[in-house]
Amino acid sequence: MAEIDDIRLMNDEDLSDEFESTQKELMNLRFRSATMQLVNVNEIRLAKKKIARIKTVTREREIVKSSL
């Protein structure tokens, strides 16, 4: 639960940067998994969840801005 709170504390620019870096990390994890170099395959699931959390917070902020 603490991670979503940390994400909500970020500003829009930091969220964008974090989203891009997490996507790159996920891509690298997938490559490592395909070449059998990834030890912990749960890292892929965690990266996907982090991306989903970032997208959720971004969408929440869009909805708040549009309702004003």
Alpha-carbon distance of 29 to 33, in angstroms, equals 6
Mean pLDDT for the chain? Answer: 94
Q: Which residues contact 8 (CB under 8 A, 6 or more apart)?
A: 57
Residue 68 is predicted with a pLDDT of 80
pLDDT tens-place string over residues 30-43: 999 999 999 999 99
Structural domain of residue 11, as residue ranges?
2-67
Say what the pTM is.
Answer: 0.90
Q: In the predicted model, what is the mean pLDDT of residues 47-59?
A: 96
Q: What is the CATH number of the domain that holds 31?
A: 1.10.287.310
How many domains, the chain?
Answer: 1
